[in-house]
Structure 1
Amino acid sequence: MNQTLARIHDRSAVVGIIGQGYVGLPLALVFEEAGFQVRGFDVDPTKIEALSRGHSYIRHIGSERVAASIARGRFGVTTDFDQLRECDAILICVPTPLGAHREPDLSYIHDTANAIARRLRKGQLVVLESTTYPGTTDDEVLPILESSGLSCPDDFFLAFSPEREDPGNARFSTKTIPKVVGGVNPASTEVAVALYGAGVDKVVAVSSARVAESSKLLENVFRSINIALVNELKITFDRMGIDVWEVIEAAKTKPFGFTAFYPGPGLGGHCIPLDPFYLSWKASEFGMWTRFIELAGEINTSMPRYVVGKVADALNDARKSVKGSRVLVLGLSYKENIDDDRESPSYQLIEYLQDKGADVDYCDPYFPKARHGRRHSLNLSSVPCDNTTFRGYDLLLVSTAHAQFKDPALYAGVSLVVDTRNIVKAEPAGPVTVVRA
């Protein structure tokens, strides 16, 4: 333990980070910029090749930053997991998706833990960052690592520290977001706190890995439930002829006791649509039914169908049917101004409209071509973001509030807009009917 701590304090420790995606890559850069030697591991050779050239495939992480880290000689990337033996700390940043029946899929964690166990040596710190249910670090990862014949904390250290990435957030970054850390024992907590304290501005130590795992779930359950609440109120207020966006702006003027959440066409991103169900699944093991989580999930997953219903109503009012209409969906990203389309509701919107016979295209400056995901393969490319193109459609459906879509001139002469993000003015440069959805 003392040797590991000494290597952390004098920056001679080598930090290995498994997974070079939206979580692992910024974390690798933070530790390199703090003076550590960093090894980035990934099973995708195209990512490794891009990073080796100093090229970033994540828009909000500039290639200049990656190139600078590579040029300093402290950041190396590889698909060779045997190099894990050279690392003093190994951070796990791999996906934790849901299965077909919303059950947790820990296969990536299990595979990674087994890969580490085959190469584990004395003195190493292993930290799981992937969001999961309470008990995963103690009950799933620890036994796999100890199958190596080494024990924790006598031979190695194990902790959980939840990722808190918010892609595109200009106010907070990996370095400035406080880092929650909880070990499977006090010695592991101490070593993990020392490591993160050398790289980020603030570390919050908690009593156990289970508390750290639960804290991330609470954060995302809180958001999921409040988004569901405002989505339900949007539908309710719409029936009453009340603008939910104006209601929210009025409520925001209260300086205490209220936090603004905004409605949308559904949930996107890797965290909020998935993470709460990790907790509800685990709770069932203890005879608990997490009704708030289940209800929020039901409301949020129903929103794309609600929006498509508003599209059908808007076209009907214009004496058109969905079948045969040309519809342009604005935005594939799950949130504005980023190139992250994980779990984006735009994909469901497009597929639902296609199922109803609409001729659907999309426009997104961050996605020249729609990526092939686990559940969606659209085989579409983005149309140009200009007024001439927009006027060629029967209806525009605003799904993402990209800054590029906020120019009123884009909508001049457009006949019909269904706006789920409240970004299109009711009277832009030219007559247009705007339906809030």
Structure 2
Amino acid sequence: MVAACGVLFALLGVGGAGQASAHPLSTTAVLLDVGSGSVTGELQLPVDRLALALSDPTLTSQAAIVPAELADLRAYVSRHTAAVGADGEAWSSEISGGVIESIDGVDHLVLQLTLTPSTGRTADFTFSYDAVVEHLLSHQILVSARTEGAADYTTVGLITWQNHELPIDGFAPGSTAGSGATGVGAGFSTAVHLGIEHISGGADHLLFLLTLLLPAPLAAARGRWVRRTGLTRSCVRVVHVVSAFAVGHSITLALAALGYVHINSPLVESLIALSILASAVHAIKPLVPGGETVIAAGFGLVHGLAFAAVIQDLGLARSALVVQLLGFNLGIEITQLIVVALIIPSLLVLSRTRLYPGVRVAGAGIAAVLAALWLAERTGLLPDNPLDTLAEAAVGHGLLLAAGLAVVSVAAFSVRNWRAVDAAPIATARRTRAVVGAR
């Protein structure tokens, strides 16, 4: 049971020293327009995440926020927003406005931001922001910028609970950043990093993939999982599952981000939780013998819609979108390959021991519980997931937990071999006595 719990934490935590438990229902978007004497912008804060961070459930039930409460919210955001120029001087910050708008099917509080340097120079500065994310570690803030009057935004980066500051360079008035090929090309590497950060903090995406991989070293026979003979075939199965998931989410990521498929974020997030639940049941007892590839591809289409919601939050024009879409998808694939490389060797070794059936069932069972709680939360049956804290702690120690899984797998395999060596003389003696007795 101890080993099984270790495996569970590893399954939840292989995202690295990242942010969060579940993929958030929405993110905060910061859109900055760099002018000649000031930087103006728009802050889009998801109301449900804001309510959780402030422990104010009444926020989610209001179509509009009363003036007194709106003033408090502006003051809260203002306390957590700042900018510092390249010369080290702090800029003045003002938060104004405040309306509730539906963005991607999720209610957002939209505020206006004005950052003003005393020198009037807005060329390079550092933007600091930690509203919501200071309390809700699973939250993420997407920051985009452009020169004032330009058509396209350029993705600048991602603010998480680990890093609240982001340099905004190269957007001086008159520059081509955010409006030409230079800005788009510069955004590619940022998009790759954004994809890495996003998937490494989305425990639901990772948990779905890893739950699918639990039975990968095994074969379905007569309605149950049995040990597969041959390491090569197990490795091929892993490649098939990972590739199918990648193809599935890449298709819908591209279609949705380019505007060919409409995204309903709450529905997509609920389907993601359902996909984890289905893969967990399949890991316990094969629903579709040999069907991990089909399940991975099918639900990969759903996960791609969630990835696309992040791209759409940036408000990019088509010229910037294609390049940054490629970078974002590349970041996702890099992270997935790292996760597979860290976890699969341990699963393959464990599958050769008597410990693996317990590990597989325990891991899949707890994944099913988490998925059911996420599903209840995202469909409104529960106000929040009571196990989010556990998942956040696991993700924050991902590399350590993956190393622990490797130690457990090696120890279990070694014990199996020692027992086999110790049993050999006994078996030989028994055969000898049987031969002598027969004579």
- The TM-score, its normalising length taken from structure 1, stands at 0.23
Of structures 1 and 2, the one with the larger relative CO (CA 8 A, separation 6+) is 2
Which structure is higher in helix share?
2
Q: Which has the larger radius of gyration?
A: 2
- The TM-score, its normalising length taken from structure 2, stands at 0.23
